[in-house]
Structure 1
Amino acid sequence: MRAVFFPMVALLALAGCGTQGELKPAPGHQLPPSPIGRKDRPSATELLSQSSQARPSRNVELHTRSEPRTDDAFDLPPSE
């Protein structure tokens, strides 16, 4: 019985992770109001997408050799 039960539970849990659908607010709740200057209310997908300011592009400049650090005026020893 256990040999069948645990794999079935694992398969059901795994299947639940892969479900996809349109995001909707919970019953009795609404999406936030539209921002000032915008006439339509943004959808859930628009609210979840990040702007380029929130997620800047990655700096792909690689260091080919080690370089000495420049002096940092704010790199102070801890106070006692």
Structure 2
Amino acid sequence: MMRTIAAMGLAALLCACGTRAPLTPPDGAALPAAPYGTATKPSAEELLRRDALAAPERSVELRRRSEERQDDPFDLPPE
């Protein structure tokens, strides 16, 4: 019981440590070069932003009731 509480406390501390300062490259390193065809380098926030193709909206339609499966001609028994 005490181990569980201690582990949860440690996990909470580790989760909170990343939100103290904005992300910056390490000392001596720079952000990636500007993409081909652009004159300016993107900022760290722009590099972390995902476009719609990288994170599409879910389009899963939930089933309201059970339905019979259609016959699958490729569902063959092993040989």
Counterparts of 1:35 and 1:72, CA distance in 2: 46
Letter of the structure 1 residue corresponding to residue 13 of structure 2: L
State the percentage of identical aligned residues: 50
Structure 1, unpaired ranges of 5+: 1-9
2:16 counterpart residue number: 17
CA shift in 2, pair 1:46/1:71, >3 Å: farther
Instruction: Please give the alpha-carbon distance, in whole angstroms, between the structure 2 residues aligned to 1:30 and 1:62.
Output: 46
1:52-63 pair list within 5 angstroms:
52-63=52-63
- When the two structures are superposed, what TM-score results if normalisation uses the length of structure 2? 0.62
Q: CA RMSD in A?
A: 3.0
Residues 61-72 of structure 1 mapped to structure 2, 5 A cutoff: 61-72=61-72
1:27 aligns with 27
Change (3 A) 1:73 1:15: closer
Unaligned runs of 5+ in 2: 1-8
TM-score (norm 1): 0.61
Q: Judging changes above 3 Å, is the alpha-carbon distance between structure 1 residues 68 and 26 closer, same or farther for their aligned structure 2 residues?
A: same
